[in-house]
Structure 1
Amino acid sequence: MPRLASHTDSVPPSGIRRIFELAQSLDDVIALVIGEPDVPADPATLDAGSRAWLADDTDYTPNGGIPELREAIVRAVAEHNGILTDPERVWVTNGATQGLHLAMGLLLDPGDEVLVPDPGYTTFTMNAHLLSATAVPYPLRPENAFVPDLAELGRLVTDRTRVIIVNSPSNPLGAVFDRPTMQGLLDFAREHDLWVISDEVYERFTYGTAHVSMASLAGAGTGDDDRVFTVFSASKTYALTGARVGWLLTPSGFAPLLRSAQEAMISCINTPAQRAVVVALTGSQQSVTDAAAHYRENLAEATAALRERGIRYLDPAGAFYLWVDVSYASRGDVAEWAERFLLEQRVAVAPGSAFGRMGEGWIRFCAAAALDDLLEGIRRLPEPPRTEIRLVRPDEYEAVSRQRFAAYAHDYEIGGEYAENVRAVEMHATVAEVWVAVDSATGDLLGSVTLPRPGEALTELGREGELEFRLLAVDPGARGRGVGRQLTEFVLDTARSRGATRVVMNSGTDMVVAHRLYESLGFARMPERENPPGVEPTRAYGLDL
């Protein structure tokens, strides 16, 4: 038998489909795994498609779509997205999925690299492998509120990098990038001469944060910067996932090439579906408004239920997904945990690792579901550990000393006087306050932090009206449970209760994970207080209360 092309072996399977297919074989499953709208399509849209079928309106159409649909898209993106374009830059595709593949196929040669968000939509990486290109994940970290770090992005660029994919509102996160973030990403692409593919499938579903289209910033249609391809879809907005109608907005000058590419791949999209989407775009948008209100209400109820149970999540600003931290239960293999959760609790959720390595320990709930099902799915999550923060006891000095040293040595090479200071828990508890985070159920020590006694200072860094903290450490085995954030928030609460106006601290320059945590909580650098004589290089941070 002839062999398959070698690149097919590298295409990763979908961890989402694995759960979905397993769920199909079971009874009484609460299905919260697939991003399927649970609202009906607008009757006028359905009627338009039905009439086209009954009228035998089933001939081939132009490769780019019927003129009425392309013109309707031009008007819609001008109204909703601030994008000025023309019909020759609009290409109707077999859903957003084919639009992504089409754009990536135009821009990537074998061996080229594309920067993809991690966590991010699974098709980004799958498409790259199908094209013999290399997907290079750029991390979206919880300690950075899942916003890209441009400095970290810059370190990933090589001479083979050609494209960056941006997804806002995000699937799976529900995050929405604000205008400065989108502008920063566009400036980054300009600096490194990269194409941008902007996936904006969930553009009409945002909650409190306005959606910003990348192409509107790039000046598409004015010739200012033709490097942005934008992908849209009728699937989520109009509850037409099976109709398979999306569209790709391109820079100018691509029409001849795209006619050939579309002819080779799909020829065209079926005519009745295109007729239906014309009516969806040009008719009443009440169904979209109602769907957004439904998703927003579901997300509000779901996040309230998670807060009540003490389960960490990302506050959703868009789309209809809920990103939930179950690392307290998954213990390093959330894919296996999600399968077990389905088999034992009959709840189907998407494992975060299906969206990239940064998704380990997280799951994605689809909130486009009956509210009772969504809340019941949350109720069936395992009970999270409860954390108590209290002063260290004398019989715990040695354990906290070992834990502190293990926490610092896990990431950094420490020795000499600094190592001895890290271990000196008894001394610190004598002259200051050492607070420990303890698992309420097991009594296990999870981490610690040192504060001054009321009215005193730890070092010369802290000034009048300020509270300084030091030696925040989390047991390596407890990482991923949010202990560092809980300890830092405890410090902030303590500072407020003592009447402090600012919280300050010093951190080693190589403690980048800690820096991301502090910055995500609003701390800012204080360069004027850094690197005093005789002290190792540090970063000073402060947060005004």
Structure 2
Amino acid sequence: MVKIPAFEVEQWMDTYENTPGVLNIAETCASSISISQLAEFHSKSKDGSAPPVIDFSRPMTYGAIRGSDELRRNIAALYEGGDDHAAGALAPKDIIVTPGAIAANHLVFYTLIGPGDHVVCVFPTYQQLYTIPETLGAEVSLWRLKAEDQYVPDVSELERLIKKNTKMIVINNPNNPTGATTPRAVLAKVIEIARKHDIIVFSDEVYRPLYHGLPESDIPPSALSLGYQKVVATSSMSKAWALAGIRLGWIASRDKGIIEQLAMARDYTTISVSQLDDQVARYALSAEVRPALLRRNIELARTNLALLEKFVQDHADVCSWVKPTAGTTAFIRFSQKNGKPIDDEAFCKDVLDKSKVMFLPGTRCFGHGHDFNGFVRIGYVNGTDVVQKALENLHAYVAEHLS
């Protein structure tokens, strides 16, 4: 039997997120919207001519096995405007729809990685991205991101980590938990190294395109758009699109062989996704809805990040961070006045108990044997009222216990 270690982020969320009166700033999705609210983002909603989100007259068959053509066309449109003009536009055939990005990520590893393989994975990141290949028998080397580098990967370090049996390089852009962006120039170097060694690049892009802290000219393209066939990217409707409840994600790759391998393996776990979910996702990603929905989420991120930045500045004697440029999460270090980092797990539990504010401990949820003592992950793109109240309560706690 495969021994699977606890998925610490999910275990922590499951344990504490239903605490009575909780102010949940551990949540990593842009503040979720209802189906009724989604309909209001349609460009024709004001004159009453917008179509319904769901066609309830459709028979509930399995539908298109890999995802409806319309949905996959709308997903493909998310990758337009990249640098890889020679490859042409991403097509529906390059995309497989899955039950969330978590299933997409698992399918990529399950299909492409096994015993004897070596995987390089950025770190810290979502635990699934390094734990699953380990459980499949692969050796995993962690490519450490450093605060002094603004959590931008050091490509010279990647060169040193590559081995003869390296099968895959795993990146996460924008990064969870730091909210950092890997710039285009660095992505291009990663691709160059992968091409040189014939290595698959797996890019978890679940927080793309929520780039709220960068000028337009500095927003990097998807790794899919940099001219290398052996790139696999995953994403979902949860984080940047505020629709976690429909449980819909996808895998995209220009490599036909990889896509066909993934589709064949997927037959053992998923026939098709819910046809209701498919309809909601294709509506949300349509040209008539997508721009307004993304604008709402980016504006929410900017508003709330300003609140969090003020909190960090007001408590600079016990708080430090690298300010996020994208995504929904920040990785913040708390310390005592003498500079000694707090015990982050005990801190999170005590804050929740005394102030009802919930966030995640860095060492337990992102440590993987490494020291993130004092670090907590805060999700700040939930409702502004929740963020404001949580930070007010946290301010009072810090004033009493860390001063």
**Is the contact made by 1:33 and 1:365 (CA closer than 8 Å) also made in structure 2?**
yes
Bigger radius of gyration among the two: 1
The separation in 2 between residues aligned to 1:76 and 1:26, in whole angstroms, is 37
What is the rounded CA distance, in whole Å, between the counterparts of 2:153 and 2:400 in structure 1? 29
The answer to whether 1:367 aligns with 2:380 is yes
Match of 1:348 in 2: 358
Name which of 286, 308, 312 aligns with 1:302: 308
Is it true that 1:14 corresponds to 2:7 in the alignment? yes
Task: Tell me by how many angstroms 1:93 deviates.
Answer: 1.1
Residue of 361, 372, 382 corresponding to 2:398? 382
Query: Deviation per CA, 1:278-335, whole angstroms, max 9, x where unpaired?
Result: 1111122212201110111100121012112212111110001122111448847423
- Alignment CA distance shift 1:80-1:243 (3 Å): farther
- What amino acid sits opposite 2:165 in the alignment? R
Could you say if the C-alpha distance between residues 385 and 344 of structure 1 is closer, same or farther in structure 2, counting changes exceeding 3 Å? closer
CA-to-partner distance for each residue in 1:418-474, whole Å, 9 max, x for gaps?
xxxxxxxxxxxxxxxxxxxxxxx8xxxxxxxxxxxxxxxxxxxxxxxxxxxxxxxxx
Q: 1:78 is matched with which residue?
A: 80
Deviations 1:116-147 (A, max 9, x none): 22110122123223423233211111122212
**Residue 334 in structure 1 maps to residue 344 in structure 2:** yes
Residue 270 of structure 1: which of 274, 286, 290 is its match?
A: 274
CA deviation string 1:83-141 (max 9, x = no partner): 72222111111111111112222221124222122110122123223423233211111
Name the residue aligned to 2:219: 210
Per the alignment, residue 292 of structure 1 pairs with 298
Q: Please state how far the C-alpha of 1:383 moved relative to its aligned partner.
A: 5.0
Q: Which residue type is aligned with residue 216 of structure 1?
A: S
Q: Helix, strand or coil: the match of 1:339?
A: helix
CA displacement at 1:37 relative to structure 2: 2.6
The alpha-carbon distance between structure 1 residues 115 and 339, as it changes in their structure 2 partners (threshold 3 A), is: farther
- TM-score calculated relative to the size of structure 2: 0.84
Q: How far apart are the structure 2 equivalents of 1:380 and 1:340?
A: 13
How far apart, CA to CA, are the structure 1 residues paired with 2:158 and 2:147? Answer: 16
Q: Please report how far the alpha carbon of residue 172 of structure 1 lies from its aligned counterpart in structure 2 after TM superposition.
A: 0.9
Contact 1:234 1:246 in 2 (8 A): yes
Match runs of 1:125-524 below 5 Å: 125-206=130-211, 207-208=213-214, 209-217=218-226, 219=227, 225-254=228-257, 255-282=259-286, 283-284=288-289, 285-310=291-316, 311-328=319-336, 331=341, 333-353=343-363, 354-356=365-367, 357=370, 359-369=372-382, 370-380=386-396, 382-383=398-399
Q: In 2, distance between residues paired with 1:332 and 1:125?
A: 26
How far, CA to CA, are the matches of 1:101 and 1:81 in structure 2?
Answer: 28
- What CA deviation, in whole Å up to 9, does each residue of 1:31-78 have, x standing for no partner? 1112133242443289978634x3253211233111111222223321
Helix, strand or coil: the match of 2:330? strand
Partner of 1:35: 28
Map of 2:125 onto structure 1: 120
Partner of 2:298: helix, strand, or coil?
helix
Q: 2:16 aligns with which of 11, 23, 28?
A: 23
1:234-263 Cα offsets, whole Å, 9 max, x none, are: 112321102111111113323443332221
Larger RCO (CA within 8 A; separation ≥ 6): 2
Instruction: Give the distance between the partners of 2:400 and 2:185, measured in 1 at CA.
Output: 36
Amino acid at match of 1:193: D
Q: Structure 1 residues 256 and 315, CA, compared in 2 at 3 Å: closer, same or farther? A: closer
Question: Residue 177 of structure 2: SS of its match in structure 1?
Answer: coil
Q: For residues 134 and 292 of structure 1, do their structure 2 counterparts lie closer, same or farther at Cα, with a shift above 3 Å needed?
A: same
In 1, Cα distance between the equivalents of 2:380 and 2:119?
Answer: 30
Shift of 1:173: 0.7
C-alpha distance in structure 2 between counterparts of 1:313 and 1:123, whole Å: 24
**Is the CA contact (8 Å cut-off) linking 1:32 and 1:367 kept in structure 2?**
yes
- Partner deviation per Cα, 1:389-409 (whole Å, 9 max, x = no partner): xxxxxxxxxxxxxxxxxxxxx
- Aligned equivalents of 1:381 and 1:81: distance in 2? 48
1:55 paired residue among 51, 54, 57: 57
Q: Is the 8 A contact 2:82 2:225 kept in 1?
A: no
Letter in 2 for 1:238: W
Q: Report the Cα offset of residue 342 of structure 1.
A: 2.2
Shift of 1:365: 0.6
**1:503-542 deviation line (CA, Å, top 9, x unaligned):** xxxxxxxxxxxxxxxxxxxxxxxxxxxxxxxxxxxxxxxx
Structure 1 unaligned blocks of 5 or more: 220-224, 387-440, 442-545
Q: Provide the rounded CA distance (Å) in 2 between the counterparts of 1:143 and 1:115.
A: 21
For residues 39 and 173 of structure 1, do their structure 2 counterparts lie closer, same or farther at Cα, with a shift above 3 Å needed? same
Instruction: For residue 358 of structure 1, report the CA deviation from its aligned partner.
Output: 5.4
CA distance in structure 2 between the aligned counterparts of 1:22 and 1:76, rounded to whole angstroms: 35
Distance in 2 between the 1:123 and 1:170 partners?
A: 14
Residue type of the alignment partner of 1:57: P
**Secondary structure in structure 2 of the residue aligned to 1:312:** strand
Contact kept, 8 Å, 1:325 with 1:363, in 2: the verdict is yes
Cα gap change, 1:155/1:81 in structure 2, threshold over 3 Å: closer, same or farther? closer
The residue number in structure 2 matching 1:468 is none
2 CA distance for matches of 1:332 and 1:190? 43
Distance 2:157 2:396 in 1: 37
Report the secondary structure of 2:79's partner residue: helix
Amino acid at match of 2:20: D
Gaps spanning 5+ residues in structure 2: where? 43-49
SS in 2 for 1:40: coil
**Is contact 1:16–1:33 with CA below 8 Å preserved after alignment?**
no
Distance 1:134 1:22 in 2: 31
